[in-house]
Amino acid sequence: MDPVQPTNLWIPVCCERVMRFNMFVQKEGTAYGALVCTVCSKNITFELEHSADLSAYGAGARALTILGSPKPPNIERRKPDGDATLNDQTL
């Protein structure tokens, strides 16, 4: 049985390009990930947390479905269709 897929997916973009995602595991087993812009080298670091209690992060906290690719396309990102943002239940 296929799991239910959300209708929309967040795409990390910087400098009009999809950001690259790399995952790392330290020697003690701690895992983390990083989104990196291949144009300006801006980065965002993620720490892996199992079964997070979203209420601990304040009212309105949500878990997002986000794309992570170690080799994203090297082309300019087109703007999303207008109705994609209107139908997003995370906004």
What are the extents of the domains in the chain? 1-50+64-69
Residue 75 has a pLDDT of 84
Which DSSP symbol is given to 57?
G
Sequence-separated (6 or more) residues with CB below 8 Å from residue 57: none
Residue 51 has a pLDDT of 73
Distance from C-alpha of 44 to C-alpha of 37, rounded to nearest angstrom = 9
Residue 85 pLDDT greater than 70, yes or no: no
Q: Is the dihedral of CA 30, 35, 39, 40 positive or negative?
A: negative
pTM of the model: 0.68
